């Protein structure tokens, strides 16, 4: 990437949404609901530029074919080195750019109708654009410092958007929770960055990787730093044990959930691991941690989603679970499959959230057991959600199948059978919970008046849903494995590849596409759909009976494995104890100190007040005495004489005073 | 003429030494200060203040005479002090008159409305 014009185009990708943020933040009041047109214009141009970057990196535009890389020094530390701001677009970043811009565009189109009449309409669009800009900046970052800046910006935006309806106490709490829980991860990431910087003297991804290869940092310190970076990813991507914020973040407006879950927020964690993959592969222990955290999270979140009544929470737990898959994929070394799942997931998860938003728009309820029979009232939403659900479940030949099957199959082929079992069980759970939600919401008879009167959402909402539904089906077709027998290339695997170094370090065997494993995974998913059908469509009373029979299990899952209660009893309680102790110290110790100084001044003043008797002659006496005292001090050599004089005059004065 | 008589005449004609002026000035100042501290009548207090001022003036003039190198600075100070004393008396007596009109007394022990 040589020319200034091309560099400007690349810089404009994150700069345009940031500019839109400024415009909307300053002139939002004037623009009102016209803010959406400004925002959509900005993100559309960003999308066009992103596509340009993708085509350039892919070599379709002449002159391209190599990663785009340039940077400018930002903070010069002298001998300490230089922090630079720059751009690194390889296949991974190019795909992410397009996905982020595209999902953001869909969400912004959809929000125009969904958020109509909202009190802070233009502010909503402003923050959505800042969110998009932050994520794009994060994707472009070639070093940890730049990444960390945008990483934190993403966190701030999620706080603002989750708490968009801050009049509601639950939204405020959810926003704080999202911010604080991810902060735990951010702090760990920062410590990791500092370790890397202090040992290698650089914050660039490539530099750190090479310094580690050269042995500047290694052993347990290196593993610790890599795991700390991964803890940052855990926080952002809502992995166990920092997953608790994501379901609560459903308090935000539904388009925001779509954006957070598909492209901007939770994807950042997975992206971080993928971006720093050359560093991760050098620590096999850290890779195992990534794989097991991912596998366990996938299974755990899958079980939590089984019993939720809130349709958005089902999808939220599904995100946690699917992110677990991506981490699992990256951890076991199938880099391409993990990133491929991130890419496919963006489309079908955005679609599912927009469908849920469409239902909420129509009947103003989150509880799926207040819905029912919506299939006839909202056919477009129904079919879009079914397509999204099939893709999420990993049914052949929908997009989700290709990436999910690749992850599940490579877990088996790497002989990690525990992880394989977890992944396969999660396939069953995924298919079950998403079709449970679809069946309960859309099939059967309407359960409430609102459900009976629901109508299909306007075209500006169904339009993006249909586009995303189309992509949920076909997005995976760019990555059909060569071994599948179709006469098309595996474009994705050719484009998003781990570096040669990572491939050598991992020393993975090539495995041909396994029809057996693919068949097993589809069969398990179909089984999940079948069980959901049996329990919620054929004999709805059975599910209730089952829940009552296993009531403790049901409650355990419904409470999210009591993680909230556990954290409430430990960290939250400890934090509030610390807060109370600090408040007590402030009030009692510091407050007393300050108050004491004040009271001391008052007391001294009260004592001195008596001297001011109002008698002019007393004052004159004081003046005289003071002059004599000064005389004593100045004329110290005559001190004895003067002291005697003062004493005589004083005694005389008092004698006279008494007499008069 | 006997020498003793001559000596007395000389002493009378010759100017007195500096110490004499200073002692007189100090005595005037002390009497004035004593009066300011112990008298109750505001008018008398003012008179005592004048006495203090003039005691100081006397020392200033005496120094001016005995220190020719000072270039008469002491005398000009004395003139300045006289002018200020006149102004002070004008203001002070006006205050005393105003106090007398409102309270029918010039006893400073009874004028203590500035008690803190």
- Per-residue pLDDT at A409: 84
B86 belongs to a structural domain: yes
Query: In the predicted model, is pLDDT for residue A641 greater than 80?
Result: no
Q: In terms of residue numbers, what domain contains B70? A: 40-107
Residue A656: band (very low, low, confident or very high) from pLDDT cuts 50, 70, 90: low
Residue A539: band (very low, low, confident or very high) from pLDDT cuts 50, 70, 90: confident
Rounded to an integer, what distance in angstroms lies between the CA atom of residue A91 and that of residue A623? 89
Helix (H, G, I), strand (E, B) or coil at A75: strand
Query: In the predicted model, is pLDDT for residue B114 greater than 80?
Result: no
Rounded to an integer, what distance in angstroms lies between the CA atom of residue A476 and that of residue A397? 8
pLDDT tens, residue by residue, A543-586 = 777 777 777 777 777 777 788 788 878 888 888 999 999 999 99
Residue B1: band (very low, low, confident or very high) from pLDDT cuts 50, 70, 90: low
- Per-residue pLDDT at A579: 92
Domain count across chain B: 1
DSSP-derived letter for residue A164 is: T
The residues facing A313 across adjacent strands are none
Interval A527-534 mean pLDDT? 85
Phi/psi at A282 (nearest 5 deg)? Answer: -80, -10
Query: Which phi-psi region, left, alpha or beta, contains residue A374 (left: φ > 0; alpha: ψ -120 to 50)?
Result: alpha
B85 belongs to a structural domain: yes
- Per-residue pLDDT at A307: 82
Q: Which residues touch A69 (CB under 8 Å, ≥6 apart)?
A: A1, A86, A87, A88, A89, A142
DSSP A515-570: HHHHHHHHHHHHHHHHHHHIIIII-HHHHHHHHHHTHHHHHHHHTTTTHHHHHIII
Residue of A608, A613, A615 for testing the chain B interface, max B β-carbons within 10 Å: A615
Query: In the predicted model, is pLDDT for residue A55 greater than 70?
Result: yes
Count Cβ–Cβ pairs < 8 Å, chain A vs chain B: 38
- Per-residue pLDDT at A213: 81
The b-or-e profile of A263-302 (16+ CB within 10 A means b, else e) is bbbbbbbbbbbbbbbbbbbbbeebbebbbbbbbbbbbbbb
Phi/psi at A397 (nearest 5 deg)? Answer: -105, 30
Q: Where are the alpha helices (DSSP H) in A364-416?
A: 374-377, 379-393, 399-413
Q: Measured in Å, how far apart are chain A's first and last C-alpha atoms?
A: 103
Residue A533: band (very low, low, confident or very high) from pLDDT cuts 50, 70, 90: confident
DSSP-derived letter for residue A456 is: P
Are B114 and A612 a contacting pair, CB within 8 Å? yes
DSSP-derived letter for residue A211 is: H
B97 belongs to a structural domain: yes
Chain A contact set for B113 (CB, 8 A):
614
B58 belongs to a structural domain: yes
- Per-residue pLDDT at A581: 94
Q: How far is CA B43 from CA A471, A478, B81, B100, in A?
A: 108, 113, 20, 11
- Per-residue pLDDT at A651: 67
- Per-residue pLDDT at B91: 93
Q: Give the percent of chain A with pLDDT over 70.
A: 95
Residue A47: band (very low, low, confident or very high) from pLDDT cuts 50, 70, 90: very high
The three-state (H, E, C) secondary structure of A501-512, written as one string: HHHHHHCCCCCC
Query: In the predicted model, is pLDDT for residue A643 greater than 70?
Result: no
The alpha-carbon gap from B53 to the nearest alpha carbon of chain A, in Å, equals 15
Beta strands A68-76 and A82-89, pairing class:
antiparallel
Interval A610-627 mean pLDDT? 78
The residues facing A367 across adjacent strands are A310
Lowest mean pLDDT among A254-268, A285-299, B2-16, B86-100: B2-16
B2 belongs to a structural domain: no
User: Does the distance separating the beta carbons of A614 and B108 come in below 8 Å?
Assistant: no
B29 belongs to a structural domain: no
Query: In the predicted model, is pLDDT for residue A619 greater than 90?
Result: no
Are A10 and A87 a contacting pair, CB within 8 Å? yes
pLDDT tens, residue by residue, B19-74 = 888 889 888 988 888 888 888 888 998 899 999 999 999 999 888 888 878 777 88
Lowest mean pLDDT among A555-559, B82-86, B107-111: A555-559
B103 belongs to a structural domain: yes
Determine contact: A606 vs chain B, CB below 8 A. Answer: no
B113 belongs to a structural domain: no
pLDDT tens, residue by residue, A77-131 = 777 778 888 888 888 888 889 999 999 998 888 888 888 888 888 888 889 999 9
Residue A620 has its nearest CB partner, among B37, B112, B113, at B37
Q: Angle CA(A582)–CA(A587)–CA(A591) in degrees, nearest 5?
A: 125
Helix (H, G, I), strand (E, B) or coil at A135: helix
pLDDT tens, residue by residue, A210-266 = 888 887 777 788 888 888 989 988 888 888 888 888 888 888 888 888 888 887 788
User: Does the distance separating the beta carbons of B115 and A612 come in below 8 Å?
Assistant: yes
- Per-residue pLDDT at A422: 86
User: Does the distance separating the beta carbons of A612 and B37 come in below 8 Å?
Assistant: no
Rounded to an integer, what distance in angstroms lies between the CA atom of residue A422 and that of residue A177? 29
Residue A600: band (very low, low, confident or very high) from pLDDT cuts 50, 70, 90: very high
Residue A640: band (very low, low, confident or very high) from pLDDT cuts 50, 70, 90: low
Residue A656 has its nearest CB partner, among B38, B45, B112, at B38
Instruction: Supply A428's token pair.
Output: 């069953």
- Of A96, A323, A97, A136, which is closest to residue A230 (Cα–Cα)? A323
Are A473 and A347 a contacting pair, CB within 8 Å? no
pTM for the model:
0.76
pLDDT tens, residue by residue, A392-427 = 888 888 888 888 888 888 888 877 888 888 888 888
Query: In the predicted model, is pLDDT for residue A637 greater than 70?
Result: no
Query: In the predicted model, is pLDDT for residue A31 greater than 70?
Result: yes
**Average pLDDT in chain A:** 84
Chain B contact set for A646 (CB, 8 A):
none
């Amino acid at each position: 990437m040589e020319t200034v014009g091309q560099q400007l185009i690349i810089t404009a990708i994150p700069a345009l949404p940031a500019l839109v943020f400024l415009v909307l933040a300053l002139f939002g009041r004037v623009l009102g609901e016209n803010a959406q047109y400004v925002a959509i214009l900005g993100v559309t141009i960003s999308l066009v530029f992103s596509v340009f970057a993708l085509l350039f990196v892919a070599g379709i535009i002449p002159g391209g074919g190599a990663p785009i890389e340039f940077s400018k020094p930002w903070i010069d530390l002298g001998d300490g080195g230089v922090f630079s701001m720059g751009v690194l677009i390889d296949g991974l970043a190019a795909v992410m750019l397009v996905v982020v811009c595209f999902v953001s565009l869909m969400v912004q189109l959809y929000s125009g109708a969904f958020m109509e009449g909202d009190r802070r309409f233009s502010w909503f669009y402003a923050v959505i654009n800042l969110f998009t800009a932050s994520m794009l900046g994060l994707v472009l970052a070639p070093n940890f410092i730049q990444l960390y800046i945008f990483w934190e910006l993403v966190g701030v935006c999620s706080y603002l958007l989750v708490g968009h309806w801050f009049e509601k106490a639950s939204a405020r709490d959810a926003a704080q929770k999202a911010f604080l829980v991810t902060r735990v991860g951010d702090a760990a990431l920062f410590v990791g960055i500092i370790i890397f910087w202090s040992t290698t003297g650089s914050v660039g991804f490539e530099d750190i990787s090479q310094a580690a290869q050269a042995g500047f940092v290694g052993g347990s310190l290196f593993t610790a730093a890599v795991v700390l970076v991964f803890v940052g990813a855990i926080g952002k991507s809502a992995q166990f044990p920092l997953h608790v914020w994501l379901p609560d973040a459903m308090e935000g407006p539904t388009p925001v959930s779509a954006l957070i879950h598909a492209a901007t927020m939770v994807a950042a964690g997975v992206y971080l691991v993928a971006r720093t993959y050359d560093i991760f592969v050098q620590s096999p222990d850290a890779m195992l941690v990534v794989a097991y955290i991912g596998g366990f999270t996938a299974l755990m979140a899958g079980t939590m989603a089984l019993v939720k009544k809130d349709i958005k929470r089902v999808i939220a737990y599904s995100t946690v679970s699917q992110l677990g898959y991506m981490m699992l994929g990256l951890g076991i070394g199938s880099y391409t499959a993990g990133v491929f799942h991130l890419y496919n997931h963006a489309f079908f998860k955005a679609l599912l959230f927009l469908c849920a938003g469409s239902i909420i728009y129509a009947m103003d309820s989150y509880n799926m057991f207040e819905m029912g029979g919506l299939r006839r009232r909202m056919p477009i939403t129904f079919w879009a959600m079914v397509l999204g659900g099939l893709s999420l479940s990993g049914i052949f030949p929908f997009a989700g199948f290709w990436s999910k099957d690749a992850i599940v199959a490579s877990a088996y082929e790497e002989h990690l059978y525990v992880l394989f079992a977890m992944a396969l069980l999660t396939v069953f759970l995924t298919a079950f919970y998403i079709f449970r939600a679809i069946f309960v919401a859309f099939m059967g008879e309407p359960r409430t008046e609102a459900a009976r009167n629901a109508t299909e959402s306007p075209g500006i909402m169904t339009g993006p849903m249909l586009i995303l539904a189309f992509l949920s089906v076909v997005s995976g077709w760019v990555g059909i494995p060569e071994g599948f027998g179709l006469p098309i290339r595996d474009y994705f695997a050719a484009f998003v590849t781990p570096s040669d170094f990572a491939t050598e370090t991992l020393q993975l065997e090539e495995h041909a596409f396994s029809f057996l494993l693919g068949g097993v995974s589809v069969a398990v998913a179909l089984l999940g759909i079948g069980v959901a059908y049996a329990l919620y469509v054929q004999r709805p009373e059975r599910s209730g009976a089952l829940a009552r029979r296993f009531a403790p299990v049901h409650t355990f899952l419904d409470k999210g494995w009591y993680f909230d209660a556990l954290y409430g009893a430990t960290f939250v309680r400890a934090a509030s104890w610390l807060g109370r102790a600090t408040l007590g110290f402030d009030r009692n110790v510091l407050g007393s100190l300050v108050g004491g100084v004040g009271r001391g001044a008052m007391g001294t003043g009260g004592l001195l007040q008596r001297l001011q008797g109002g008698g002019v002659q007393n004052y004159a006496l004081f003046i005289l005495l003071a002059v004599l005292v000064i005389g004593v001090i100045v004329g110290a050599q005559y001190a004895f004489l003067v002291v005697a004089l003062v004493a005589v005059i004083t005694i005389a004065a008092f004698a006279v005073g008494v007499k008069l | 003429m006997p020498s003793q008589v001559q000596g007395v005449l000389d002493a009378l004609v010759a100017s007195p030494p500096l110490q004499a002026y200073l002692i007189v000035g100090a005595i005037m100042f002390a009497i004035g200060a004593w009066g300011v501290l112990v008298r109750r009548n505001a008018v008398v207090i003012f008179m005592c203040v004048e006495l203090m001022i003039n005691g100081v003036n006397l020392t200033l003039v005496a120094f001016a005479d005995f220190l020719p190198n000072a270039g008469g600075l002491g005398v000009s100070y004395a003139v300045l002090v006289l002018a200020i004393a006149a102004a002070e008396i004008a203001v002070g007596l006006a205050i005393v008159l105003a106090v007398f009109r409102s309270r029918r007394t010039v006893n400073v022990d009874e004028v203590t409305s500035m008690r803190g």
